[in-house]
Structure 1
Amino acid sequence: MRPDGARSNSAPSASAEQEQQEPARILIVEDDFLIAMQTETALADAGFHVVGTATTAEEAIILAREQRPSLAVMDIRLASERDGIDAASQLFRELNIRCIFATAHEDPRTRERAEPYAPLGWLAKPYTMPSLVDLVAEGLSKLD
């Protein structure tokens, strides 16, 4: 799937045309303001629709319920008692939303905690915005 939500190998149909008009919807869950802003800008510039930015697990759940993103870009350490894996768990169980973890915390124990929630990928901080955009596009293609 392309960033604009269109499928590349299917014949045009009413639903495919609608998908072309609606870019993939991405939720950003990141408590570092600068990283969140850079992420939002990079994803928007790449043609994705950022539905919102959350700094806590609780905000992420509320935004996801309201906005129904295609996927979430999730940090592990957040500005609340609950971490990104807790948020990913709830997003996956309640809304069937999967995450890409973009974090400095990707040790084996953390990855093991996240595995039941079918992560679409991992990106270690510090990362480049092009690598994030590429991973989001790759993650969306896994959702087809």
Structure 2
Amino acid sequence: MKKRRDILIVEDDYLQSYVLELHLKSLNYNVIGVAVSGEEAIAITERQKPTLVIMDISLKGEMDGIDTAKIILKSYDISILYISGHLEVYSRSRAEQTNYIDIINKPLCKSKLVDAIDKCIKL
């Protein structure tokens, strides 16, 4: 049986999320939504139950991407792929407290993104 390829993008930068969504759709992934905040990501996850969440670590609002991932992972068996424009040691150590697949630095390299997504989808 082929595994679902439903992906939720959590990115508060419109241009980044738009380009990422275009890349994913061109690779035949099903982008089920784009969230700009942790709260919105949790709500979409509850409704849509994606296979993978591509999560920006630095989000505006009450929760960053790591806090959002922790909440999602408490209730759902979903793969998390972090993206970050400026990954600090502190953020990496916090991310390591969650069950994530990989962390990819921005700007995103399409081949690294595809490799990481394929790793997530195969799990």
| TM-score, scaled relative to structure 1 | 0.79
Q: Which letter maps to 1:73?
A: I
Instruction: Give the Cα separation in 1 of the matches to 2:81 and 2:87.
Output: 12
Q: Among residues 88, 93, 104, which one is paired with 2:69 in the alignment? A: 88
Q: Secondary structure at the match of 1:116?
A: coil
Q: Among residues 65, 72, 88, which one is paired with 1:107 in the alignment? A: 88
Q: Where in structure 2 are the equivalents of 1:109-128 lying within 5 Å?
A: 109-128=90-109
Task: Establish whether residue 27 from structure 1 lines up as the match of residue 8 from structure 2.
Answer: yes
Q: Which letter maps to 2:50?
A: P
**Bigger-Rg structure (1/2):** 1
Q: Among residues 9, 16, 22, which one is paired with 1:41 in the alignment? A: 22
Task: Establish whether residue 59 from structure 1 lines up as the match of residue 40 from structure 2.
Answer: yes
The size of the alignment, in residue pairs, is 123
> Alpha carbon RMSD of aligned pairs, Å?
1.5
Identical residues among aligned pairs (%) = 34
Indicate the structure whose relative CO is greater, using CA pairs within 8 Å and at least 6 residues apart: 2
Deviation at 1:84, TM superposition (A): 0.3
Q: Which letter maps to 1:99?
A: I
Structure 1 runs of 4+ with >3 Å offset: none
Unpaired segments of 5 or more residues in structure 1?
A: 1-15
Unpaired segments of 5 or more residues in structure 2?
A: none
Q: Which letter maps to 1:136?
A: I
Structure 1, 100-109 or 67-76: larger mean CA deviation? 100-109
